[in-house]
Structure 1
Amino acid sequence: MLGLAATPAPAEQIRVGYIPIIGAAPIFVADKEGWLKEGGLEPKFTTFESGPNMIQALASGTIDVYVAGIAPLAVARSKGIDVKVVAATAIEEMVFVAGPKLAPYFGADTKAADAFKAFKAKEGKNARLGTQPPGSVPDTTLKHWLWKVGAVDKADADIVALGIDATQQAVLAGAIDGATVREPAVSIIRARNPNVKIIALGGVMFPNQPGTVVGVSGAWAAKNPDGVQKLVNAVVKAIDLLKKDPDKAVPAVGAALGKGIVDDAIVKTALTSPATKFLADPRVIAAPTAEMQAFQVSIGTLEKDIPLDGLIDASFYAKATAK
């Protein structure tokens, strides 16, 4: 008697929220390469403009997985939202770019404080700088670079909260003079206007700056710990591919982030940019996350220190990379 072939278990749908940046690339590579499917996971993706905007969806249970900056997750946990970080994807993503009017004020050895002061004196106005909402990683990183690293006078620069796409368009239109942006926006902007200059890379703005992470809701993790492990396994494999063979990753990343309208050459530039540092180990960002939070308290975007115990769970990464 011939035995019947076993029917494969149906894939479990996971609802993934993400912001459209290169730091989210590993989740799309993992999907394109079939590694999520192999783990019995079927992702449904939803785009958000920023991490803080995604928290409401996480709190309401409309997404299971969060792929964005870590700072909003710490705030979410302080408000009773059960979430944990199970992997990093990138660090030091945020860079500061200056538009054509502001860029010439930054010479090779010019201090940021002097550049902004000179711009104000010559142009008769403050430099307008675009970033994302207060409390986000882009906002925090910008303020850290301006006020702590560069000792820029707060009276010499105006900070404007914008979405990712709006920031990109505002730089290109000259509506703002500079901005904190991540890839692929950096490469898109500079391809369209080479007079836009990178002034500070992420490691200068905030050393070991915590970037994009993979967070999972406590409810989903409790229901499917094996699914969390397979998710992290896939992300680790994807980051390895992105480092070793970025050309292979271009189609998946371009389709997800460029929506077919960003040239593959720009996607490749973004993947290999000095502003792109893929990294999966969440333990690397533990101390910088605490440092970033302390800075947020010092500038008033966070009321008080939030206990970070339990926010990062590195056990899944450890299993994924065990020899």
Structure 2
Amino acid sequence: MTVAYVPIYPNMQHYVMEREGYYQDVPAAVTIERFSSGPSIVKAFASGDIDVALFGITSAMVLVDKGTDAGVLAANSRNGFKLIGTTELADFYEQEGAATFDRFEEEHGRKVRFGAPPDGSVPDIVLRYWIQEDLDVGEMESVIDKSKIPPAKAVQTVQSGDIDATIIQEPFATIIGQDDDFGELAWSGNVLENHPVTVLFANQQVLDDSDIAGSLVEQHIAATEFTGDSPDAAAAHAASVIGSGVSEGPARPIGTRRTLRRFVFTASVFRILSH
């Protein structure tokens, strides 16, 4: 059984399962493959090269929409994003609310420059919903000047002054939050309550094998509980596997119980398909 993953922190269960040996309790010979992005996993999954994947919910939706016989076993994380802006923008938002964007444009003669992952991603959907539904200030493209910023580069991009705001996943959100020059605009859990971010996704062959599927969920639950009980160890496991984007140094202090709760790791939700 081939298990694929994208090296991002919201796939925390995978790092724990690999480093703590939980995959060894699954009744199948497990091979781990690392992919650089969700789209690359989608391609390999659709070709039948992958049996199980830990990746974004939107990638899972793409595969199901294309007719792939597969489904979600569990959610890895949810509510894992913050909308962060400069202190000026955060102060405007506290004072003006939905009128923030008009106020900013009056002051600067331009729209707010907002850095975010690509269209159709979870943070893009949350950002659009926040602007268009929560704030009800119009179509996103008419309100802000959005640019594509990879999550791992969001910290340096916003700190360099190239953008005014970003929607960013943990642990990068906590890193920016430690800087007095920036403030929180909104938490994604308040924009779209309990929205999934990443999932444990399996093909039909795995779903039809109750022993394997059940064991995967059991080990996923164990990894979730490990993360809650030993957040520092879980953060170190993640940093050692990811090996890029955020070093183990900054991962340790943000691997606190409070920060991990931002991920709100879940083990039993989104059991979509029955055998």
Q: TM-score, normalised by structure 2?
A: 0.86
SS of alignment partner, residue 15 of structure 1 = strand
SS of alignment partner, residue 212 of structure 1 = strand
Map 1:216-255 → 2, pairs under 5 A: 216-222=202-208, 225-255=210-240
Say if 2:3 and 2:52, in contact at 8 Å, map to a contact too: yes
Say if 2:56 and 2:197, in contact at 8 Å, map to a contact too: yes
Whole-Å separation in 1 of the counterparts to 2:171 and 2:243:
9
Structure-2 change in CA distance of 1:172 and 1:65 (3 Å):
farther
Structure-2 change in CA distance of 1:38 and 1:56 (3 Å):
same
Say if 1:98 and 1:198, in contact at 8 Å, map to a contact too: yes
Whole-Å separation in 2 of the counterparts to 1:69 and 1:261:
22
Q: Does residue 273 of structure 2 align to residue 313 of structure 1?
A: yes
Q: Choose which of 30, 46, 54 in structure 1 pairs with 2:34.
A: 46
Q: Which runs of 5+ in 1 are unaligned?
A: 1-12, 287-311, 316-323
Say if 1:52 and 1:133, in contact at 8 Å, map to a contact too: no
Map 1:148-163 → 2, pairs under 5 A: 148-154=133-139, 155-163=142-150
Q: Alpha-carbon deviations, 1:235-258, whole Å to 9, x = none?
A: 101111212231332321221235
Q: Which residue of 2 aligns with 1:125?
A: 110
Cα distance, 1:54 vs structure 2 = 3.2
| Structure number with higher relative contact order (C-alpha < 8 Å, ≥ 6 residues apart) | 2
Cα distance, 1:28 vs structure 2 = 0.9
Cα distance, 1:175 vs structure 2 = 1.6
Whole-Å separation in 1 of the counterparts to 2:155 and 2:60:
25
Q: Does residue 16 of structure 2 align to residue 16 of structure 1?
A: no
Q: What is the one-letter code of the residue matched to 1:139?
A: D
Equivalent residues, number: 270
Whole-Å separation in 2 of the counterparts to 1:189 and 1:257:
20
Whole-Å separation in 1 of the counterparts to 2:190 and 2:66:
32
Q: Alpha-carbon deviations, 1:49-86, whole Å to 9, x = none?
A: 4x345322321233332222223322321212222100
Whole-Å separation in 1 of the counterparts to 2:181 and 2:15:
31
SS of alignment partner, residue 77 of structure 2 = coil
SS of alignment partner, residue 152 of structure 1 = coil
Q: Does residue 23 of structure 2 align to residue 36 of structure 1?
A: yes
Cα distance, 1:271 vs structure 2 = 6.6
More strand by proportion, 1 or 2?
Answer: 2
Whole-Å separation in 2 of the counterparts to 1:30 and 1:63:
18
Q: Choose which of 63, 69, 89 in structure 2 pairs with 1:76.
A: 63
Identity level (%): 25
Cα distance, 1:169 vs structure 2 = 3.2
SS of alignment partner, residue 211 of structure 1 = strand
SS of alignment partner, residue 102 of structure 2 = helix
Whole-Å separation in 2 of the counterparts to 1:196 and 1:183:
15
Q: Does residue 158 of structure 2 align to residue 171 of structure 1?
A: yes
Q: Which runs of 5+ in 2 are unaligned?
A: none
Q: Alpha-carbon deviations, 1:232-289, whole Å to 9, x = none?
A: 2111011112122313323212212354823143341487355321111224xx8xxx
Q: What is the one-letter code of the residue matched to 2:41?
A: M
Q: Which residue of 1 aligns with 2:182?
A: 196
Whole-Å separation in 2 of the counterparts to 1:56 and 1:75:
10
Whole-Å separation in 1 of the counterparts to 2:29 and 2:185:
41
Cα distance, 1:139 vs structure 2 = 0.9
Q: Which residue of 2 aligns with 1:143?
A: 128
Q: Does residue 68 of structure 2 align to residue 104 of structure 1?
A: no
Structure-2 change in CA distance of 1:257 and 1:110 (3 Å):
farther
Say if 1:281 and 1:314, in contact at 8 Å, map to a contact too: no
Q: Alpha-carbon deviations, 1:277-320, whole Å to 9, x = none?
A: 1111224xx8xxxxxxxxxxxxxxxxxxxxxxxxx2267xxxxx
Whole-Å separation in 2 of the counterparts to 1:232 and 1:274:
20
Cα distance, 1:38 vs structure 2 = 2.5
Structure showing greater Rg:
1
